[in-house]
Amino acid sequence: MKIKIQNVIFPKQNICEIEDMYYRKIGLPSSPKIYRDEIVFKKHQRVNFDTYFNSLSLLKWIKYTYADSNFSINLTLKGDFAVTLIHYWIEPNGTLQYQKISTENVSFSEKQEISLSYVTQNPFGMIAFSLEAKKEDSIFYGGYYSSEIDTEPQNINIGMGICTFKRESYVLNNIENLKKYIFTNPDCPVSNRLNIFISDNAHTLNESDFNCDKVHLVYNKNTGGSGGFTRTMLQAIDYNKETEDKLTHLLLTDDDIKFDPDAIIRAYTMLSILKPEFTDAFIGGAMCRMDKENIQHASGEIWHKNRCESFIETFNNNRNLINLRDIVENEYFVNSNHQAWWFCAIPMKFIREDNLSMPFFIKSDDIEFSARNMKTLILLNGINAWHESFESKYSAQNEYYTVRNYLISAAAHNSFVSKKDVINMLKSYTRHYLSNYKYLEIEHLCNAINDFLAGVDHFKSIDLEKYHKSILSKGYKTVDASELPVKFTKEQYYKDISYDKHVGKISKFLKFLTINGLLLPSKGFAVLGMWGGTNVQTYRKKFLVRYSAEKDTGFILKRSLSKAIKAFFKYRKTRKRLKRRFDKAFKEFQNRWQELVTRENWNNYLS
C-alpha cells in the first residue's frame, strides 16, 4: 500500500520564518509570491526544496521502517513546470555529491497532482526536488513524499508530556499551534491520536486557557523538571487505565521551546511503520537555538558514565541548517545513548509505575532514564525544537545538581568511576573555579558530593521543593548590562573571550604558586561568557564581568582572598570525607537505586 511519509511544509509565523530552511529561491531577479501554503512563480523562476525541512532521508526511512526503496514525490501544481528530482549524498572521502534523477515537464490548466518515482540504488543521503516555472503565474500548492509498504501501519497514539514552571507564554503558544495545525485539521493523521498532559509546577495556568478537550492539566508540587515530567508519566499511565485508545508513546517536551507541529506528524508516521526490531526505539528531536534559528546546538549526544570530568559529548553542534552540506551530513548516523527531553518520544512500555524517572529535581533525569531504557535513538531532519541557549540559562546552582546526579547515575548504571576519579574531578573543578572567582560553585560542588556520600536514605528524605529554595538562595543576581557598575563594549567581550597567550614554564609555575595571581596585586578586569575562562584570561584580574551576549545581561565576580581560603578549606574537608565514605555510598546507590523510581516513592515526593 502507498503511504504518505512526509509533508512538504512552509514557514509558519511565530514558529520559524527562515525561508532557506524550507526552500531556496535560485537566481531570481525578483521573488515569487510566497503564501502560507502556496508559491506563485514568475516565468523562469526556480525554487529548490533541498532543505532541512523538505528533503527526505533515504538512509533512515529505509533502515528503520517498512518504507520501500521505491519513493515518490507528489506535488500539486497549476501552470507549466520543469520538475526535477535530485539525490544528495556524502562520499567516503567526504565529498558532497548529487545526481539529477529525472526531470519532467508538465503543463496543467487546472490544479492537479503529479507523482515522480525514485527506485533507490544508493540508500545513503537524501532526495529532494526543484521546480522551475515555464510560464508566468504558475502555482505550487504543496506536496508530500510517499512510499510503498507491504504491511498495515501500527495503531499509534501519542501522549505529550509538558512540565512547566511560569512559562505560560511558551506553553500557550505551542498549544495554540497544535490546535491550529493538528486538532482542527481533519486531514491530519494525528488529530484524534494526540493528548497533551501538562504538569503545572507553579499553578499559574487554567483549563480555560486552552479551551481544548485534548489538554489535561494538573497542578503539581514544585519538584522540578524531574517531578513535573514524572507527573506527566503518571498521568499517561492513569489515562491508559481508563481508556480503550491506549497511548503507545509519551512525547516529553520542555516548556521553554517552540516547534513546528509537523515534527509530531513525522514522528507519528515513522512510529507507525517501524520494523519489528525497532519498535522499542525512542524518537528524538534536534535542538536548535532560539536566538539563531538556523543554528543547531545538538542532534545526538553521548553520556559518558565513566568520565567524571566530561559527562556529555554533543554531536552535530553548530551546524548551519541552511547549508546544504550540513543538512546532508546531519542525516548520517551518530552513536547516541541519550536524548534530552526538549523533544523525546518514548514507548509506553518503558513508562511504568516501577520504572519512572529519578527524583533529581533538575539535571540528568533524562540522561539516566535513557541509560536505563533506550536501545535505539532515531533522529531525523525536520524533527526538532527551538530552545533557549544554555549560555542564557546559566546558574551557579546547576553545579550542585549536575555533579550529585551524575554520581548517583554512575552508581546506578555500574560505571567504573573510582574514588580516585572523583577526587581528581573535585580537585580540577576547584582549581578552575578558584581561578574564575566562582567561589559559590565550589560550595555547590562540595555539597553535591557530600549529599551523595550521605547515601540513599538521606536522598529519599530530602524535601525537593524546600531544598531547592535553599540551593537557589546561593546564586548570582543577573541584571541588564546597563545596570552593571562597570561599562564595557561587546568588542571588549569578543576580544577578552578570544584572548590566548602562550605561557612558558616559569610563568606556569608562578601561576601555580600564586593560585593564578590570587596572592599578587590585582589589576583591571575581563569580560567573559557565563561559563569558561582560562587562567590566561583571568590572571590577576580585580574582577570578572560574566556576560551573556544573547540577552545583554551579566553579573560581576570579585576576587576575594578570604572567600578563596574559605572555599579551599571546604574542598579539603570534602576531599577527606570522600576518601572515607565513597565506596560505601557508591555501592549503596548501586544496590538500591530501584527504590527511587517507583510510584510509591514518587507519591511521597509529590504529596
Sorted by sequence, the CB contacts under 8 Å of residue 94 that are 6+ apart come out as none
- Which cell numbers hold the place of 486? 562597570
Across 268-284, average pLDDT: 98
- Which cell numbers hold the place of 8? 512538504
Give the Å distances, CA to CA, from 471 to 445, 446, 514: 12, 13, 31
CATH topology identical between 2-148 and 158-389 = no
- Name the architecture of domain 158-389: Alpha-Beta Complex (3.90)
As a whole number of angstroms, the distance between CA 274 and CA 377 comes to 12
Strands 282-289 and 377-387: parallel
* Pick among 1.10.3720.10, 2.30.110.10, 2.60.120.260, 3.20.20.20: CATH of 2-148: 2.60.120.260
As a whole number of angstroms, the distance between CA 590 and CA 358 comes to 13
At 393 the pLDDT is 74
At 392 the pLDDT is 66
As a whole number of angstroms, the distance between CA 497 and CA 546 comes to 11
Per-residue model confidence as pLDDT tens digits over 98-146: 999 999 999 999 999 999 998 888 889 999 999 999 999 999 999 999 9
- For residue 302, the SS3 value is strand
Per-residue model confidence as pLDDT tens digits over 420-470: 999 999 999 999 999 999 999 999 999 999 999 999 999 999 999 999 999
Sorted by sequence, the CB contacts under 8 Å of residue 567 that are 6+ apart come out as 430, 433, 434, 439, 442, 443
Residue 570 has pLDDT above 90, yes or no: yes
Residue 174 has pLDDT above 70, yes or no: yes
> To 5 degrees, how large is the angle CA 5–CA 115–CA 30?
95
At 28 the pLDDT is 63
As a whole number of angstroms, the distance between CA 603 and CA 607 comes to 6
pTM over 0.85: yes
As a whole number of angstroms, the distance between CA 363 and CA 422 comes to 19
- For residue 501, the SS3 value is coil
At 377 the pLDDT is 98
Residue 309 has pLDDT above 80, yes or no: no
Q: Closest by alpha carbon to 48, among 4, 16, 85?
A: 85
- Crossing angle for the helix pair 439-453 and 561-592, to the nearest 10 degrees: 30
At 31 the pLDDT is 63
Per-residue model confidence as pLDDT tens digits over 355-376: 999 999 999 999 999 999 999 9
- For residue 560, the SS3 value is coil
Burial class, 594, CB count within 10 angstroms (exposed 0-12 / middle 13-18 / buried 19+)? exposed
- Which cell numbers hold the place of 539? 590572571
Let me know: does 14 contact 173? Beta carbons within 8 Å: yes
By mean pLDDT, which of 198-202, 392-396, 471-475, 478-482 is the weakest? 392-396
As a whole number of angstroms, the distance between CA 3 and CA 541 comes to 64
Strands 126-133 and 319-320: unpaired
Q: Where are the domains of the chain?
A: 2-148, 158-389, 398-562
pLDDT band at residue 388, thresholds of 50, 70 and 90?
confident
pLDDT band at residue 500, thresholds of 50, 70 and 90?
confident
As a whole number of angstroms, the distance between CA 397 and CA 402 comes to 9
C-alpha dihedral over 299, 302, 303, 307, to 10 degrees? -130
As a whole number of angstroms, the distance between CA 220 and CA 231 comes to 7
By mean pLDDT, which of 117-126, 222-231, 279-288, 471-480 is the weakest? 117-126
